[in-house]
Amino acid sequence: MKVVIATLLAGLLAPYDATSAQRSERPNILYIMTDDHAAHAIGAYGSRVNSTPNIDRIARDGAIFTSVFATNSICTPSRAAILTGQYAHLNGVTVFNRFDSSRMTVARLMQQGGYHTGMIGKWHLGSDPVGFDQWEILPGQGVYMNPVFYTAERETTYTGRYATDVITDRALDFLRTRPRGKPFFLMVHHKAPHRPWEPDESHASHFAGRHIPEPATLWDDYATRTDALHENEQRITRDLTNRDLKISRPPGLSGTALSQWLTLRPDSVATVIDGQTVVLRGEALVRWKYQRFMQDYLATVQSVDDNIGRLLAYLDSAGLSRNTMVVYTSDQGFFLGDHGMFDKRFMYEESIRMPFVVRWPAGIAPRTRADAMALNIDFAPTFLDVAGLPPSSDMQGRSLLPLMRRRTPTTWRTSMYYRYYHDPGDHNTRVHYGVRTRTHKLIHFWKKDQWELFDLVNDPYELHNLYGQPGMAPLTASLKAELTRLKREVRDDDQLADVQLPNGVDGTVAKLRGK
């Protein structure tokens, strides 16, 4: 009996060996990505504003990565980086321009390597998906209610349906009808919680009237910061529209008049408080706007979490859980009133930090925590490594598999390079690039020749710009040297490229097929 118990204990305590698991049976990969889901709106990351039990389950049963960053915090470039494993200046997608589908991607390599591949949901790359055995995507941004999806053969309007539910339904159909002789690689991309944050009725009612805690920096006055931050147009105070805030529409408005009214940014709002109609202005209005924005934002997140629960339940019931890697992430971070803003783009923490949790019982021990610095260009090499396939030679990222095994290489990165191109673009955000280390961040708004320097240890909210302050010269010089080294390493030789949005293209692709 003692021998049997000892043998069982040895098996339970033995380290996970993903390599042997790959050799015996190649794992499936289910990649779930939302649009604009901030890590600090996830329970596993310490959220103060909501709970996400199903996303938290992935983290609890596997690994949570605490330092994953977007290399260009905007939707289309991040998606291209994830597919290609390359920075924007190499994959060609710096703003909202069309992705060249002839490029090598992780999907094509997985397909060539024997995987059954699928893509469901928000693609937002301007060209049709390539490298997928099955795909069904939203046109451009898509819509929340009554969404239209298209494939290579047909277009379908899901009348009376909600986009998050439809995407999950179609993902489940892919899983149920997949060929049994192949492992699968399925990308499930949700529209939520992207603006205009339109929840379905049941989730909206769940958050209606709920008070959401305000972030510590809601009233940031931008003292010591550059002109770029002062000029931004993504502020809770003044840039949320009638549509964003779900203001009741005046009777009789339609067509152009209605469209114009929806885009107005109200400086006063009449609302009912304790049975009395009150007109809100000033600070009271800002607090009300924050609540309305967050109530809807969190409601769309909750719908995603519930639907992730449906996917996890299917994997369990189908006996697929043990050897399926499930990844949950977002295409970048998002400001949830942080620094008084919504949206992303800036190289501040809330914007560039991406959630990344992964479960793979056959290959990752539960409650693994990875603090090493990871980037969205690492995702493609990771999936290929898990599948036992080599990355393409032009991928710039590195596999995260060693980090998942708690074996961080001694040569792992300790700094990262960031670059944002869209100027003036949406929200009047200025072009900038910068370097982030474990302890500091240096940002250059090069059109203005202005810099920001932050001590992330002592100033985690990035409120105090130290650039040019007494005693900062040696640190600044070392960070500038590291920035130069990283630019050279990633082959970004165009120091001052003025990249503009191509004519006729904006964040919403007009034509149904996204071209």
* Predicted confidence (pLDDT) per residue in 227-266, tens digit: 999 999 999 999 999 999 999 999 999 999 999 999 999 9
Tens-place pLDDT, residues 171-193: 999 999 999 999 999 999 999 99
Q: Are 262 and 241 in contact (CB under 8 A)?
A: yes
Please report which confidence band the pLDDT of residue 298 belongs to, taking 50, 70 and 90 as the band edges: very high
Please check the confidence at residue 353 and state whether its pLDDT lies above 90: yes
Label residue 384 exposed, middle or buried (CB < 10 Å: 0-12, 13-18, 19+).
Answer: buried
Tens-place pLDDT, residues 267-294: 999 998 888 999 999 999 999 999 999 9
As a whole number, mean pLDDT of residues 31-39 equals 98
Q: What is the DSSP letter of 285?
A: H
Label residue 129 exposed, middle or buried (CB < 10 Å: 0-12, 13-18, 19+).
Answer: buried
Please check the confidence at residue 110 and state whether its pLDDT lies above 70: yes
Given this model, what pLDDT does residue 425 score? 83
Q: Encoding tokens for residue 250?
A: 């005046």
Query: What is the C-alpha separation between 429 and 271, in angstroms, rounded?
Result: 32
The torsion angles phi and psi of 481, rounded to 5 degrees, stand at -65, -40
Please check the confidence at residue 450 and state whether its pLDDT lies above 70: yes
103: left (phi over 0), alpha (psi -120 to 50) or beta: beta
Given this model, what pLDDT does residue 174 score? 98
Within 8 A by CB and 6+ apart from 221, the residues are none
Query: What is the C-alpha separation between 515 and 501, in angstroms, rounded?
Result: 15
Instruction: Map out the domains of the chain with their CATH numbers.
Output: 18-200+289-489 (3.40.720.10)
As a whole number, mean pLDDT of residues 100-112 equals 97
Query: What is the C-alpha separation between 89 and 74, in angstroms, rounded?
Result: 14
Tens-place pLDDT, residues 71-101: 999 999 999 999 999 999 999 999 999 999 9
Q: Shortest CA distance to 62 belongs to which of 35, 36, 27?
A: 27
Q: Are 385 and 401 in contact (CB under 8 A)?
A: yes
Given this model, what pLDDT does residue 274 score? 86
Cis omega (within 30 of 0) for bond into 193: yes
Q: What is the pTM of this model?
A: 0.92
